[in-house]
Amino acid sequence: RWEEERYPEGIKWKFLEHKGPVFAPPYEPLPENVKFYYDGKVMKLSTKAEEVATFFAKMLDHEYTTKEIFRKNFFKDWRKEMTSEEKSTITNLSKCDFTHMSQYFKAQTEARKQMSKEEKQKIKEDNERLLKEYGYCVMDNHKERIANFKIEPPGLFRGRGNHPKMGMLKRRIMPEDIIINCSKDSKIPSPPPGHKWKEVRHDNKVTWLVSWTENIQGSIKYIMLNPSSRIKGEKDWQKYETARRLKKCVDKIRNQYREDWKSKEMKVRQRAVALYFIDKLALRAGNEKEEGETADTVGCCSLRVEHIKLHPELDGQEYVVEFDFLGKDSIRYYNKVPVEKRVFKNLQLFMENKQPEDDLFDRLNTSILNKHLQDLMEGLTAKVFRTYNASITLQQQLKELTNPDDNIPAKILSYNRANRAVAILCNHQRAPPKTFEKSMMNLQSKIDAKKEQLADARRELKSAKADAKVRRDEKSKKTVESKKKAVQRIEEQLMKLEVQATDREENKQIALGTSKLNYLDPRISVAWCKKWGIPIEKIYNKTQREKFAWAIDMAEEDYEF
């Protein structure tokens, strides 16, 4: 258990040993018969240019490659990899024909699907060997699983939403880019032959094993331990304990910010309104960003006047604020929310004499807000509010929606509905899956077939009953019983399919996974499963059960967040 090994503040481990990362396999040039055409003529590309061309070819069927910004960024970065002759010839992306390459890759994908059992087994064994050698580290006295020991291969950056850098080339990461972190007394991993590490450091105040800087956003990437590891599990547990501490003082904090709406100081009023949004709408805090460097996404503190509209009345409700902005990962946040009169009046005040591109909260930034939150409760941040509101919503919704008399599929539908309420609160959206219509049609035809089957079974039951009335013997009585059971069984199967269809339809544009993994105290779900006799694997898959092993051990059916 974690409780045994407490270190002084900030120290994460005393001993750390690992094998370092696994690099992406080197580029294999295309076979001679796979051609690239420029302006209708075959053109042989240099290895570097060819490699980058294959990244585009592999994405040819994807809508990304039709987007203007993607094409522009790709072409600019591709030209950097070309020889001077190639540069002078290839001047227009529209004249490039990647279809032959693309067909080759599709055929390869098909061939992989058609592999024999033995071939698949060999690949599986190779992967397991790799995992055994590189997938574990020793941290103090524990052998721990590493989450992502393979380094991402080079490719084209996609980003989410309409990211301004989509299509740029993600460089191949070399040993010379890599910082290794391990303890001084461990066996330090050796770089691939002919290479050296950028740096080896021994920093026991952090938990990462390997890091490098990627070239697109300049962000630092890490190799960390698996979520099921001690260090991650403990961090997770502490996160929810902090949110539970907030539960004890949230009323006091709410009364305080309500008072602050009337403050003489503009700074205090703005802080109080922002906090109200973070609490009521689970908005993210929103950091300041470098101009032009990244997508124009905002959070609560960085909202601009153009992101909100005020309606004294809308659709029969008073004091409605209409939000419309791009949040994290360029996901649009659109919401119409009735607010308290004081908040509404304050927003009118904050917007006075400002241009659309001016900050709504001009006297506020994330560091001011976070310092204030820290004063209200130790360890409090905007994210703790999100975690608290998400978990408390799940707990309330489960109490309201679970019908004790329902069967298991219906109870699981209630669970998913409770989870959906949270995802909507947190604005976790997704585009409807590409296969959505098709899988819905398949499901509908299954339902129709089941209905026919049920009608047949009911007819059979009716005639068996009539038969038994005439004959009045044991055999015909037994037939009636078995036909009755068949009808019940088919009814249950039909209900299960119909529940599935409802579930899928309601889930079309909502991403449940983010909140389930990051914002919901798993003990709430574990307790609910134990209370209603629902197998835990109906709620959490294998990976999630490993990540939340601590909660499965800890929570009894009467657990209250």
Active site residues: 519
Give me the half-sphere count of Cα atoms (radius 13 Å) on the Cβ side of residue 294.
16
At how many degrees (to 10) do helices 266-281 and 366-376 cross?
80
Structure tokens at 305: 């006047």
SS3 content of the chain, % helix, strand, coil (to 5): 50, 10, 35
Structure-derived torsion over alpha carbons of residues 460, 465, 470, 471, reported in degrees to the nearest 10: 80
Length of the chain: 561
What residues contact 551, with CB distance under 8 A and at least 6 apart? 237, 521, 522, 523, 526
Q: Which of 412, 433, 374 is nearest to 500 (CA)?
A: 412
Burial (CB count within 10 angstroms: exposed 0-12, middle 13-18, buried 19+), residue 184: exposed
Pairing of strands 169-170, 155-156: antiparallel
Characterize 104-113 residue by residue with b for buried, 16 or more Cβ atoms within 10 angstroms of its Cβ, and e for exposed.
bbeeeeeeee
A 10 A CB-CB count for 366 gives 19
What does DSSP assign to residue 510? B
d(CA 504, CA 485): 29
d(CA 556, CA 552): 8
CA angle, corner 280, sides to 276 and 282, nearest 5? 105
